[in-house]
A and B are shown apart, each in its own frame.
Chain A
Amino acid sequence: MLEVTNLNASIDGNRILNGIDLSVGSGEVHAVMGPNGSGKSTFAHVLAGREGYEVTGSVALDGADLLEMEPEERAAAGLFLGFQYPVEIPGVNNMYFLRTALNSVRRARGEDEISAREFLAVAREAMALVEMKPDFLERSVNAGFSGGEKKRNEILQMAVMQPRLAVLDETDSGLDIDALRVVASGVEALRGPDRSMIVITHYQRLLEHIRPDVVHVLVDGRIVESGDHTLALHLEEHGYRDFGEQDGAGQRLSGV
């Protein structure tokens, strides 16, 4: 489903990604773990098409060249990015935001816009999935949301947009144990044979709830080790120093 080949990215002359190769099959969940500054967030943003990076290499989603696409075209092609820091947009309510998001990818795929009634059903189901309160649809996007609500909203958006590939950037950061459980069970519910996920995380604890098929270790912008879920347990015990890092003390490069 996703083929990443020799992906390099730099910003203002600073190399952040150094030849990432990654292959994610349909229905697979891959975890990308790494210390601060290893390029995890940059990897997520480059996949989603954030401007400002010089990018070489290739990224193919279902055979289509993602790097040639605008961010919105990638969304239409089935890519979803769950943000580490979801953006507050005062003045735009979640109802409008979700409906516009859903309709824009439906339009781009040549499908009809969703009716108001159908949309409400979709939205309510997604809200139930992440235990969002009924007033959610009237509230502004993420404005005044707690950290946990913001992350739950990301999963809610994923549930509405039904992507082929979801890239979840540190979805577990800043969550207490209850919020982590809600987010993780939401992600688990959205697993399926036609949907792949890349779960980016610093810590192993999210992976106690979401068991990945493959774990990759990212250090200095390159994947230095891949293995099954026991690799995450090894990292939890020994940190990243086996991989040439002083347990996250490396210089923070991505700034994101």
Chain B
Amino acid sequence: MTTATGTPITTRTDGNDPAGAMPLPTRRDEAWRYAPHRDLARLAFGPAPQAVDVPADVLAGIPQLGGPLVVMVNGVVDSELSQLESLPAGLTVHPGGGADGGDSRLAPHTELDAAAPVDAYDALNRSLSGNGVSVLVDAGEQIDPPIHVAHLLHPGDAPNAVCGRVRITLGEASAATVVETHVSVGDLAGGASVRTSIVLEADATLEHLVLQDLSAQQMLLARIEVNQHPRSRLRARSFNLGGRYGRIASQVDLVGEGAEADLAGLYSGSGDQVLDQQPTVVHRAPGCTSRQAYRGVLDDSSTGVFSGGIDVRPGADGTDARQSNDNLLLSRQAEVDTQPRLEILADDIACQHGATVGQLDPTALFYLRTRGMTEDEAGRVLVNAFADQVVEEVRHDAVRDWLSRRLGHDHD
């Protein structure tokens, strides 16, 4: 594989880093403070192992969206498992491996690639992931069926960590939904660094969903970069549910006047999971609005992290930015670390942020129990009601049904 830009960087992080590679993040790096560094250090990144058998039940376990499906096994598109025949008019999917024929609509992504990597995993991703899969929507087209990119992680012994890459461009005044699912083949320890870059041209509308449900010893390091041009609209929903460590870091740059970014997410952890949300919205143009609304449910000794950035650059007057983070702790050992990161350098802006951390309301539990529910049932009803505020905002029935099953919800 080749990289579009940049210098060769180490392909292994197992302690044999050649001089000049970026050091791995540590607890002292603010953005990585709560990550399980000991487990992360065991990841050895390398090219995807060859010839992986994917049992049919893996694909049966992901939401069946009925539209175009790109299956990536260890970061490489599997054309047999993918369903890319008879794509809707106006939609192009390049399955990567250099087959994009120099499509000019990918140029903005190349520009994004030219920026310095933000950390060692980002650097590794650029070195190892190649072009990845590209999803391109022509100007003025509205693609109704959701476009599903399923990332299957099947770690080998060494390397046990792989890189994936997704590029999405929506042309002017086009609209589409892209769903990225992260699931495991088997339960061997390992991880993936997946980088998604998204360019929304003027007046484009994208709904972008991320479903993370890796197995218990696996880790996802997802990084999502978005560039939004004038009046474009992003509706991003992340569901960070599985894995030893699930990290979803997004940076949304509002570069065009009047762009809107609406980000929300649910993280629901148990055992010793660490679920890390690192959204940042950068207001670079006037009159843009952004919303971050994340909810966490943490049981056992799991840890939830929310570090939400609102960055209002000089000249981004008339910015309207809101952020909220609400958490429910179900056990004494569970932990949540929440912090807003605000940097405001413009005038005439509205900016709100707030965070809550609470437990199940004993009066509400009692109320439900007097109506005949057991303590367990009552607790489940309240947790589901809390989580459903995010789930119910998902417009696609198949995704919502999958989430309801995954979260053990059984009601409308």
Residues of chain B having any CB pair with chain A under 8 Å: 361-364, 366-375, 377, 381-382, 384-386, 388-389, 392, 411-412
Contacts and interface: CB of A to CB of B under 8 A. Distances in A.
A93 interface: yes
Interface stretch (A44-52, A119-127, A172-180, A182-190): A44-52
Contacts of B368: 89
A90 B381 contact: no
Secondary structure class of chain A's binding surface, majority of residues: helix
A89 B373 contact: no
A96 B411 contact: yes
A43 interface: no
A89 B363 CA distance: 11
A160 to B, nearest CB: 10
A71 B385 contact: no
Interface string A33-64: 00000000000010011110000000000000
Interface residues of A, number: 35
Interface string A63-94: 00000001110111001110100110111110
A107 to B, nearest CB: 8
Contacts of A230: none
Given A90-B385, A91-B385, A92-B381, A101 B411 contact: no
B389 A80 contact: no
B367 A80 contact: no
A156 B362 CA distance: 23
Interface of A: 45, 48-51, 70-72, 74-76, 79-81, 83, 86-87, 89-93, 95-97, 100-105, 108, 140, 157, 161
A75 B371 contact: yes
B363 A87 contact: yes
A104 B371 contact: yes
Contacts of A71: 366, 369-370
A78 to B, nearest CB: 11
Contacts of A81: 370
Residue with the highest number of chain B CB atoms closer than 10 Å, among A81, A100, A161 = A100
Nearest to B381: A92
Contacts of A140: 385
Given A91-B384, A91-B389, A80 B373 contact: no
Contacts of B367: 83, 86-87, 89
B412 A96 contact: yes
B362 A51 contact: yes
A77 to B, nearest CB: 10
Contacts of A70: 369, 374-375
Nearest to B363: A87
Nearest to B391: A91
B370 A80 contact: yes
A52 to B, nearest CB: 8
A60 to B, nearest CB: 19
